[in-house]
Structure formats: C-alpha cells, structure tokens
C-alpha cells in the first residue's frame, strides 16, 4: 500500500469546506483535514462503508458524505440515544457503548464488513483499545482504522488517567511488534494482527492502522549475485570504538571494574550512554 504524504491542497480545501458548511455542529482539530485529505482520497466516489464512533450532533457525518460522494454508506455509533434522530438525513445510527465487546459483536453481526472506521468517541484507553481489537476482523481488504485524539494518551485529567503503561499509544506499540513478526528472523508465530495489519502510521493526535487481508505472510530474504557474496565483509560488529568513553570516563555512569573487563560490556555501556543522551533531548 503506497500513499503520498504530500499535502493534497484541493482535497484538503474540499473537506474543510464541507466541515464548515455542515448543517450540524462538530469539532475537529485543524491538522486533521490535511491528514484526511491524504488517507481518504482513494475512497472518493467509491462504494465504501464508513463508520464513525462518537458522532455527537452529527456534523461530521454530513462532511464524510459530501467528501466521499453519494456511493458511500455512512454509519454512526453514539452513546446518546438522541443521535437516532440523524437517521432522517439518511444515516444509519447505532446506539451503544464502544467499550463493550458485546455491542461490537451485535454491531458487526448486522453490518458485516466496513472499509473505514473512525474512532472519535470517548478517547479513554479502554474505549479506544476495545473498539480497535473488536474491529480488526471486520475491516475489508485495503481498509483503515483511524483513531482520533490520541493525545489523550498523555493527559491526566478528565478521566484519561495517563500517561500509563495501558495508554492507547503504548498499546499500539504492540501492533508494531506484531508487524515485525512477518520477518522470519524473529522466529515468532503470525497472529490476527500480523495477518491483517499492513502498516501503522502516527500523526499529531491521529493513529492510522492499514488493513490488508491478503498476501501478508512471512518475508523472504532475497539475494542478487550470490556468487559475489564472499567478497562482502560485514563490519557492523567488528569495530569497537570506546575512545570517547575512556577519555570522559567520569562523565559516564559508574561501572564495576570486574564487569568492564568482560568482552563487549564496555562497548554496551558506551552505546547505552549515547542513546540516553538522545532520549534526554526528545523528552525535554
């Protein structure tokens, strides 16, 4: 799946226009429109099913319909039963709790498969993770799951209780690990995530999970000109450069002398120190 990450000015202007002109109230962050212009462009004028969790007053439902075209089937999921009134505009609305697995089982029993799932619901860890995990097996090939407002993974108010090891963003790193299971060098079994998730993309406050239900399998190591293999020397682990460590030993963490003498240990201390310096930069 190849997608351009350059801005699409025309599409971005269109979706922003449809957002502003919607007959119902809605809220979106300003950076979302460029992201949506890029990731939803391929679905325009296609027969697709879009499901949005957390439709509120319904403003975004009108935006999706205008942007994707008349062939798109737009469905809303909302905890507030008042949202059912939006069905008079041609939208199908389901009332339910996104953190309840039984709701999703009932939902997908009726809807079957969807192409685009957008989570703009309550944004708590349990809500985001439950919606994600209960939906993997119900996304069409080349479909996507979009989780909005993932900045809540770093918020410690309004009931979000983050940062924590159970935040949605921390949970999503397990998807990264599962994608890498397709490399046989890891010697790990494929599962429902590595079988279906082609890639995961991170933006400011948005995470996109790209689903590909076909041809995802263990990668193969390909080599060209194999007869020339003997002329290649791998220097990655040959060179041990610890001069900087020896010169500035007092600036590094204290190391027990007996351990320093062990083969490779000094190099590891040096590398760990350098990495910690970079980590410090990005955490400031």
- Please state the domain count of the chain: 2
Binning pLDDT at 50, 70 and 90, where does residue 261 land? very low
The reply to whether 36 and 83 lie within a common domain is yes
Instruction: Say how far apart CA 88 and CA 262 lie, in whole Å.
Output: 74
Nearest CA to 146 out of 54, 261, 59, 62 is that of: 54
The reply to whether 244 and 104 lie within a common domain is no
**Quick one: CA dihedral 197, 198, 201, 206, positive or negative?**
negative
Q: Are 87 and 74 in contact (CB under 8 A)?
A: no
The reply to whether 109 and 168 lie within a common domain is yes
Question: Which of 211, 235, 259 lies at the terminal end of a domain, its last residue?
Answer: 211
The reply to whether 237 and 206 lie within a common domain is no
3-class DSSP state of 201 = strand
* pLDDT of residue 274 exceeding 70: yes
Peptide bond into 89 cis (omega under 30): no
pLDDT of residue 278: 82
Q: Residue 193 domain-assigned?
A: yes
The reply to whether 58 and 185 lie within a common domain is yes
Q: Residue 125 domain-assigned?
A: yes
pLDDT tens string 185-197: 999 999 989 999 9
Instruction: Say how far apart CA 208 and CA 118 lie, in whole Å.
Output: 9
* pLDDT of residue 253 exceeding 60: no
Domain that holds residue 73: 9-211
* pLDDT of residue 88 exceeding 60: yes
pTM score, two decimals? Answer: 0.83
Question: Angle formed by the axes of helices 125-133 and 101-111, to 10°?
Answer: 40
CB neighbours of residue 78 within 10 Å: 22
The reply to whether 113 and 231 lie within a common domain is no
Q: Which of 69-78, 166-175, 271-280 has the lowest mean pLDDT?
A: 271-280
Q: Residue 62 domain-assigned?
A: yes
The reply to whether 142 and 56 lie within a common domain is yes
* pLDDT of residue 33 exceeding 90: yes
Binning pLDDT at 50, 70 and 90, where does residue 5 land? low
Instruction: Say how far apart CA 223 and CA 116 lie, in whole Å.
Output: 38
Instruction: Say how far apart CA 264 and CA 171 lie, in whole Å.
Output: 33
CATH code for position 143: 3.40.50.150
Instruction: Say how far apart CA 66 and CA 72 lie, in whole Å.
Output: 9
More confident residue, 232 or 111: 111
The reply to whether 48 and 99 lie within a common domain is yes
What value does the CA radius of gyration of the chain take, rounded to a whole number of Å? 24
* C-alpha dihedral, 196 to 201 to 207 to 211, nearest 10°: -20
Question: Which of 186, 211, 236 lies at the terminal end of a domain, its last residue?
Answer: 211
Q: Residue 1 domain-assigned?
A: no
């Amino acid at each position: 799946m190849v997608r351009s990450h350059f801005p699409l000015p025309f599409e971005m202007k269109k979706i922003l226009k449809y957002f502003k002109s919607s007959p119902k109230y809605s809220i979106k962050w300003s950076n979302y429109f460029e992201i949506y212009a890029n990731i939803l462009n391929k679905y325009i004028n296609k027969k697709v099913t879009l499901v949005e969790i957390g439709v509120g007053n319904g403003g975004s439902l009108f935006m999706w319909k205008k942007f994707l075209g008349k062939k798109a089937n737009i469905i809303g999921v909302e905890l507030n039963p008042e949202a059912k009134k939006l069905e008079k505009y041609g939208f199908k609305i389901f009332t339910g709790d996104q953190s309840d697995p039984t709701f999703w089982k009932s939902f997908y029993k009726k809807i079957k498969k969807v192409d685009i799932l957008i989570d703009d619901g309550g944004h708590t860890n349990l809500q985001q993770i439950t919606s994600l995990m209960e939906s993997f097996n119900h996304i069409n090939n080349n479909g996507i799951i979009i989780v909005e407002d993932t900045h809540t993974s770093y918020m410690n108010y309004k009931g979000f209780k983050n940062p924590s090891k159970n935040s949605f963003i921390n949970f999503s790193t397990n998807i990264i690990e599962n994608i890498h299971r397709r490399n046989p060098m890891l010697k790990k079994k494929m599962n429902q995530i590595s079988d279906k998730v082609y890639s995961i993309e991170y933006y400011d406050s948005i995470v996109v999970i790209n689903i590909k239900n076909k041809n995802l399998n263990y990668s193969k190591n390909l080599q060209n000109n194999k007869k020339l293999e003997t002329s290649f020397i791998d220097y990655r682990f040959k060179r041990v450069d610890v001069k900087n460590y020896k010169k500035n030993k007092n600036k590094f963490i204290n190391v027990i002398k007996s351990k320093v003498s062990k083969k490779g240990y000094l190099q590891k201390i040096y590398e760990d120190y350098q990495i910690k310096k970079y980590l410090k930069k990005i955490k400031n």
